[in-house]
């Protein structure tokens, strides 16, 4: 039998991270000690009180049944409370909160909800590659918004061509940013709300790294901006904040019409996250947040070791103010790929080539601060030996 797959599969972008993982594994299998700084997978365990909550909840037979299609109301209420406490944002838990199978799922789903074939999605370049997947699956088109160092890695809305703007239906934003680690001021979000209103564009703000601000700076939620709920939604995941990447729980909050559309499509794809995980998620976001502050401090110390060490040696790396990434300009004479390959094969350090995040990622590599301070110090020493 000749199996012919649907043509939509042919439009999907190549999975950037799976290729990178394969290359690293070959070097590891050859017997080398690789310091893997190429992925965004948290290296520390989920806090014990959250794990204990899961253990208790999974012993309750009530959590073994199908959960409500749109998620547990108690988790939605906890999310609304968390936004009120952390950011001063008021949310209706029933109408303005959607429970997601991790943030990535929601970022793909919103494209299915809003884009028709031929519609344009404005895309940060460089940006998280899984944004592309949702647009392609929906049959949409992408227009990149360059994130340049001279603009503090913020898009310039005035540079978007009018013909692209006329077809634009939605756009992705992501601050603290993956991969550049840039952060956005409130004034930028105010400009974004005006821009979205004027052009009838839905904003999808990815706030996955919102817990990690450095040097005493608290990160700003897009929804803190007056009018933000009228033009968009924000996506959050517990993967980074609580080292719960394998638990697959996140949420979208904001515009009630968009939230209703996400809930509708999920009704046809899923029966929500297991109740025991949702209840443990309630514990995560309603318990004292000391573990989150401690984790942010860990990443700040790691930043100081890695970025501080290379900059002290004469490099010119933008000092991250948030996220757990570092956006490293490659030395003269290298491309993103050639520099990443040199580090992998000669220094046995894995980093992500910047061009895997978009055209304007060329000239950089992304480094995840996802190893101990001792290993990051060793990485600095290895880099300086080969460059």
Q: What is the CATH number of domain 7-45+290-386?
A: 3.90.1150.10
Question: What is the β-pairing status of strands 250-254 and 232-237?
Answer: antiparallel
What pTM did the predictor assign?
Answer: 0.95
Which pair of structure tokens corresponds to residue 207? 């706030």
Assigned CATH topology for domain 64-286: 3.40.640
Q: In angstroms, what CA-CA distances link 372 with 245, 252, 302, 325, 378? A: 18, 32, 7, 14, 10
pLDDT at position 253 is 98
Give φ, ψ of 47 to 5 degrees. Answer: -55, 140
Quick count: other Cβ atoms within 10 Å of Cβ 299? 25
pLDDT tens readout for residues 71-123: 999 999 999 999 999 999 999 999 999 999 999 999 999 999 999 999 999 99
pLDDT tens readout for residues 151-191: 999 999 999 999 999 999 999 999 999 999 999 999 999 99
* Sequence ranges of the domains in the chain: 7-45+290-386, 64-286
């Amino acid at each position: 039998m000749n199996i012919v797959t649907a043509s939509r599969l042919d439009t999907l972008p190549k999975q950037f991270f799976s290729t990178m993982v394969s290359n690293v594994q070959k070097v590891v299998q050859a017997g080398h000690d690789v310091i893997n700084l190429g992925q965004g997978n948290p290296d520390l365990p989920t806090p014990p009180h959250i794990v204990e909550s899961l253990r208790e909840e999974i012993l309750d037979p009530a959590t073994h049944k199908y959960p409500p299609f749109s998620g547990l109301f108690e988790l939605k209420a906890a999310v609304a409370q968390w936004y009120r406490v952390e950011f001063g944002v008021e949310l209706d838990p029933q109408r303005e909160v959607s429970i997601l199978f991790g943030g990535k799922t929601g970022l793909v789903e919103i494209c299915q909800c809003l884009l028709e074939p031929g519609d344009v999605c404005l895309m940060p370049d460089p940006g998280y590659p899984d944004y592309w997947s949702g647009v392609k699956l929906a049959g949409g088109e992408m227009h990149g918004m360059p994130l340049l160092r001279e603009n503090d890695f913020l898009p310039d809305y005035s540079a978007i061509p009018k013909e692209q703007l006329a077809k634009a239906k939605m756009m992705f934003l992501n601050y603290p940013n993956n991969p550049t680690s840039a952060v956005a001021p409130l004034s930028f979000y105010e400009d974004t709300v005006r821009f979205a209103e004027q052009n009838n564009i839905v904003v999808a703000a990815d706030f996955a790294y919102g817990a990690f601000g450095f040097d005493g700076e608290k990160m700003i939620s897009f929804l803190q901006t007056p009018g933000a709920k009228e033009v968009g939604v924000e996506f959050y995941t517990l993967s980074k904040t609580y080292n719960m990447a394998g638990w697959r729980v996140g949420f979208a909050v904001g515009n009630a019409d968009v939230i209703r559309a996400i809930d509708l499509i999920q009704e046809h794809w899923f029966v929500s996250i297991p109740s025991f995980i949702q209840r443990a998620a309630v514990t995560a976001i309603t318990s004292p947040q000391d573990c989150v502050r401690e984790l942010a401090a860990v990443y700040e110390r790691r930043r100081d070791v890695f970025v501080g060490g290379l900059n002290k040696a004469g490099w010119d790396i933008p000092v991250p103010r948030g996220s757990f990434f570092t956006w490293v300009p490659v030395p003269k004479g290298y491309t993103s790929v050639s520099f990443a390959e040199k580090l992998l094969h000669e220094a046995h350090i894995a980093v992500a080539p910047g061009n895997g995040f978009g055209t304007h990622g060329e000239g950089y590599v992304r480094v995840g601060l996802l190893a101990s301070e001792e290993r990051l110090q060793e990485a600095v020493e290895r880099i300086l030996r080969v460059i």
